[in-house]
Amino acid sequence: MRRARVTCGTWLEHTTEVTVGIPVERAFEMWKDPEGMPQWMPWLRSVRVVPGTPLSEWCIGYDAFGQSWTFSWTSRLLPPLPNKKIAWVSVDGLPNRGAVRFERVPAGPTPATRIAMTVSYELPDALARFGKPALDSLVPSILQGDMDRFKAFAEPPPPPPPPDP
């Protein structure tokens, strides 16, 4: 049985990006595994892919404003565009949707990929007046931190300096 979703809120959207020194194919593969995302997104408490389905169960947690906030939802992964885009939409719980886009950086000395993540979520109208200003500054900084942690996680370490003669 499918639950109907009634929307009665304000949708907020944030986009962040980073350029990572790895091939686009490698970046895409890493983002295609949602269960691995908590390695670079510490606010993700858990992600569980529902076997044999395009569904996954998500739980996030964040401490802010003297409170501990936890939200959960079930998402449906939309058909991906290999090495180009991964997108999702929530089907239950916290209303949200988003996409991660991958773009090969033109010729350079090493392979690189520009990754842009867009996340949209619904804020109930009762909270929009007070919550929107805070979230408009808080969420982009969290997402940019996630992108920067992904870069540090994904890129190979720099080679050691040559030994002194």
Residue 116 belongs to some domain of the structure: yes
> How many whole angstroms separate alpha carbon 131 and alpha carbon 135?
6
Buried b (16+ CB within 10 A) or exposed e, 117-132: bbbbbbbeeeebeebe
Residue 60 belongs to some domain of the structure: yes
Domain containing 91 equals: 9-154
**Can you give the pLDDT of all 165 residues of the chain as single tens digits?**
455 454 567 788 999 999 999 999 999 999 999 999 999 999 899 999 999 999 999 998 877 678 887 888 999 999 999 999 999 999 998 899 999 999 999 877 788 999 999 999 887 665 556 665 556 667 788 899 999 999 999 997 777 777 777
Residue 51 belongs to some domain of the structure: yes
Residue 165 belongs to some domain of the structure: no
Residue 118 belongs to some domain of the structure: yes
Number of domains in the chain: 1
Residue 17 belongs to some domain of the structure: yes
Residue 147 belongs to some domain of the structure: yes
DSSP for 86-155 reads: EEEEEEEES-EEEEEEEEEPPS-SS--EEEEEEEEEEEEHHHHHHHHHHHHHHHHHHHHHHHHHHHHHHS
Residue 95 belongs to some domain of the structure: yes
What's the CATH number where 145 sits? 3.30.530.20
pLDDT single digits (tens) 50-59: 999 999 999 9
